[in-house]
Structure 1
Amino acid sequence: MERTTFPPDLLDAQARWIAVYEALAQDRPARTTALRHRLLGLSTQVYFHPYWNRPAAGGRPELLLAARAAQAGREVTAR
Protein backbone atom coordinates (compact mmCIF):
# COMPACT_ATOMS: atom_id res chain seq x y z
CA MET A 1 0.00 0.00 0.00
CA GLU A 2 1.12 3.50 -0.77
CA ARG A 3 1.53 5.72 2.26
CA THR A 4 0.02 9.19 2.16
CA THR A 5 1.72 11.68 4.43
CA PHE A 6 0.06 14.89 5.47
CA PRO A 7 1.79 17.88 7.05
CA PRO A 8 1.50 17.79 10.85
CA ASP A 9 -0.34 21.13 11.00
CA LEU A 10 -2.95 19.93 8.49
CA LEU A 11 -3.41 16.65 10.33
CA ASP A 12 -3.71 18.52 13.63
CA ALA A 13 -6.31 20.94 12.21
CA GLN A 14 -8.37 18.02 10.88
CA ALA A 15 -8.17 16.20 14.24
CA ARG A 16 -9.32 19.36 16.05
CA TRP A 17 -12.13 19.75 13.46
CA ILE A 18 -13.31 16.21 14.25
CA ALA A 19 -13.28 16.92 18.00
CA VAL A 20 -15.27 20.15 17.61
CA TYR A 21 -17.74 18.49 15.23
CA GLU A 22 -18.28 15.65 17.71
CA ALA A 23 -18.80 18.19 20.52
CA LEU A 24 -21.48 19.89 18.43
CA ALA A 25 -23.13 16.54 17.73
CA GLN A 26 -23.74 15.97 21.43
CA ASP A 27 -27.26 16.40 22.77
CA ARG A 28 -27.59 20.06 23.83
CA PRO A 29 -23.92 21.07 23.66
CA ALA A 30 -22.70 23.99 25.74
CA ARG A 31 -21.24 27.04 23.98
CA THR A 32 -22.85 26.19 20.63
CA THR A 33 -21.98 29.53 19.01
CA ALA A 34 -18.33 29.32 20.05
CA LEU A 35 -18.09 25.75 18.77
CA ARG A 36 -19.64 26.72 15.43
CA HIS A 37 -17.18 29.59 15.04
CA ARG A 38 -14.30 27.27 15.91
CA LEU A 39 -15.55 24.70 13.38
CA LEU A 40 -15.72 27.38 10.69
CA GLY A 41 -12.17 28.52 11.43
CA LEU A 42 -10.84 24.97 11.35
CA SER A 43 -12.74 24.24 8.13
CA THR A 44 -11.01 27.23 6.56
CA GLN A 45 -7.59 26.05 7.78
CA VAL A 46 -8.12 22.58 6.34
CA TYR A 47 -9.74 23.63 3.06
CA PHE A 48 -7.25 26.36 2.16
CA HIS A 49 -4.08 24.65 3.41
CA PRO A 50 -1.17 24.96 0.94
CA TYR A 51 -0.85 21.16 0.88
CA TRP A 52 -3.84 20.94 -1.47
CA ASN A 53 -1.96 22.96 -4.13
CA ARG A 54 0.47 20.07 -4.68
CA PRO A 55 -0.12 18.07 -7.87
CA ALA A 56 -0.06 14.67 -6.15
CA ALA A 57 -1.75 15.62 -2.88
CA GLY A 58 -3.68 12.88 -1.11
CA GLY A 59 -7.43 13.27 -0.94
CA ARG A 60 -9.60 14.66 1.81
CA PRO A 61 -11.06 11.25 2.70
CA GLU A 62 -7.53 9.99 3.36
CA LEU A 63 -6.92 13.03 5.58
CA LEU A 64 -10.04 12.24 7.59
CA LEU A 65 -8.94 8.61 8.05
CA ALA A 66 -5.42 9.67 9.04
CA ALA A 67 -6.74 12.20 11.57
CA ARG A 68 -9.08 9.64 13.13
CA ALA A 69 -6.24 7.13 13.31
CA ALA A 70 -3.98 9.73 14.93
CA GLN A 71 -6.66 10.42 17.53
CA ALA A 72 -6.85 6.70 18.27
CA GLY A 73 -3.05 6.45 18.44
CA ARG A 74 -2.50 4.25 15.40
CA GLU A 75 -1.03 4.69 11.94
CA VAL A 76 -3.00 4.41 8.73
CA THR A 77 -2.00 3.75 5.13
CA ALA A 78 -3.93 4.95 2.12
CA ARG A 79 -4.96 2.57 -0.64
Structure 2
Amino acid sequence: MASFPFPDDLIHLQQQWTRTYNLLAVGQEKGAADLRRVLIGLSCLISGHPFWRAGGYSAVRRVELRRAAEAAAGGEQQLVVRYTDGTFTVSDPGAQPS
Protein backbone atom coordinates (compact mmCIF):
# COMPACT_ATOMS: atom_id res chain seq x y z
CA MET A 1 0.00 0.00 0.00
CA ALA A 2 1.35 3.43 -0.92
CA SER A 3 2.19 5.81 1.88
CA PHE A 4 1.00 9.40 1.67
CA PRO A 5 3.18 12.39 2.66
CA PHE A 6 1.19 14.12 5.40
CA PRO A 7 1.99 17.64 6.62
CA ASP A 8 3.40 17.93 10.14
CA ASP A 9 0.42 19.88 11.47
CA LEU A 10 -1.98 17.14 10.32
CA ILE A 11 0.22 14.47 11.95
CA HIS A 12 0.17 16.52 15.16
CA LEU A 13 -3.64 16.86 15.07
CA GLN A 14 -3.97 13.09 14.64
CA GLN A 15 -1.61 12.50 17.58
CA GLN A 16 -3.73 14.83 19.72
CA TRP A 17 -6.85 12.96 18.60
CA THR A 18 -5.34 9.60 19.57
CA ARG A 19 -4.19 10.87 22.98
CA THR A 20 -7.64 12.33 23.67
CA TYR A 21 -9.36 9.11 22.55
CA ASN A 22 -7.08 7.06 24.80
CA LEU A 23 -7.81 9.32 27.78
CA LEU A 24 -11.53 8.93 27.14
CA ALA A 25 -11.13 5.15 26.82
CA VAL A 26 -9.43 4.75 30.20
CA GLY A 27 -11.68 7.27 31.97
CA GLN A 28 -9.20 9.90 33.17
CA GLU A 29 -10.03 12.55 35.78
CA LYS A 30 -11.12 15.12 33.20
CA GLY A 31 -14.83 14.81 32.48
CA ALA A 32 -15.91 12.55 29.66
CA ALA A 33 -18.09 15.28 28.14
CA ASP A 34 -15.09 17.62 27.91
CA LEU A 35 -12.99 14.92 26.28
CA ARG A 36 -15.75 14.13 23.78
CA ARG A 37 -15.99 17.83 22.87
CA VAL A 38 -12.22 17.98 22.32
CA LEU A 39 -12.39 14.79 20.23
CA ILE A 40 -15.17 16.23 18.06
CA GLY A 41 -13.23 19.47 17.58
CA LEU A 42 -10.08 17.59 16.58
CA SER A 43 -12.10 15.40 14.20
CA CYS A 44 -13.43 18.55 12.52
CA LEU A 45 -9.94 20.03 12.21
CA ILE A 46 -8.59 16.78 10.74
CA SER A 47 -11.40 16.25 8.25
CA GLY A 48 -11.40 19.92 7.21
CA HIS A 49 -7.62 20.17 6.80
CA PRO A 50 -6.52 21.62 3.43
CA PHE A 51 -4.41 18.49 2.76
CA TRP A 52 -7.56 16.54 1.84
CA ARG A 53 -8.44 18.96 -0.99
CA ALA A 54 -5.57 17.72 -3.15
CA GLY A 55 -6.18 13.99 -3.05
CA GLY A 56 -9.55 13.62 -1.44
CA TYR A 57 -10.63 12.33 1.91
CA SER A 58 -10.87 8.54 2.07
CA ALA A 59 -10.83 5.73 4.60
CA VAL A 60 -7.52 4.47 3.22
CA ARG A 61 -5.87 7.85 3.63
CA ARG A 62 -7.25 8.20 7.19
CA VAL A 63 -5.76 4.82 8.12
CA GLU A 64 -2.45 5.89 6.62
CA LEU A 65 -2.63 9.16 8.58
CA ARG A 66 -3.19 7.23 11.82
CA ARG A 67 -0.25 4.93 11.04
CA ALA A 68 1.98 7.87 10.17
CA ALA A 69 1.01 9.65 13.40
CA GLU A 70 1.77 6.51 15.44
CA ALA A 71 5.18 6.15 13.79
CA ALA A 72 6.13 9.84 14.15
CA ALA A 73 7.98 11.18 17.18
CA GLY A 74 5.57 11.43 20.10
CA GLY A 75 3.05 9.07 18.52
CA GLU A 76 1.13 6.40 20.37
CA GLN A 77 -1.22 3.62 19.34
CA GLN A 78 -4.95 3.95 19.74
CA LEU A 79 -6.35 1.74 22.49
CA VAL A 80 -8.95 -0.87 21.59
CA VAL A 81 -12.32 -0.58 23.32
CA ARG A 82 -14.60 -3.61 23.23
CA TYR A 83 -18.15 -4.00 24.52
CA THR A 84 -19.04 -7.55 25.49
CA ASP A 85 -21.96 -8.74 27.60
CA GLY A 86 -22.67 -5.27 28.98
CA THR A 87 -19.06 -4.48 29.87
CA PHE A 88 -16.48 -2.23 28.21
CA THR A 89 -12.88 -3.42 28.19
CA VAL A 90 -9.85 -1.44 27.11
CA SER A 91 -6.70 -3.10 25.80
CA ASP A 92 -3.57 -2.44 23.81
CA PRO A 93 -4.00 -2.77 20.02
CA GLY A 94 -1.93 -5.98 19.89
CA ALA A 95 -3.90 -7.78 22.60
CA GLN A 96 -6.13 -10.65 21.51
CA PRO A 97 -9.79 -10.60 22.56
CA SER A 98 -10.53 -12.89 25.49
Indicate the TM-score class for this superposition, using the shorter chain for normalisation: 0.7 to 0.9
Letter of the 1:36 partner, please give it: R
Paired residues, what number? 71
Pairwise CA distance, 1:32: 1.2
- Residue 71 of structure 2 is matched in structure 1 by 69
Structure 1 outlier segments of 4+, above 2 Å: 1-4, 55-58
CA deviations over 1:31-68 (Å, ceiling 9, x no partner):
21111111011000101111001037771110000011
Unmatched tracts of structure 1, length 5 or more: 73-79
TM-score (norm 2): 0.63
Q: Which amino acid aligns with 2:18?
A: I
Residue in structure 2 matched with residue 38 of structure 1 by the alignment: 38
Structure in which a larger fraction of residues adopt helix = 1
- The alpha-carbon deviation at position 29 of structure 1 amounts to 2.7
Aligned-residue Cα RMSD (Å) equals: 2.1
Pick from 60, 68, 72 the counterpart of residue 62 of structure 2: 60
- Structure 2 stretches lacking a partner, 5+ long: 77-98
CA contact (8 A) 2:10 2:49 kept: yes
Percent identity over paired residues: 37
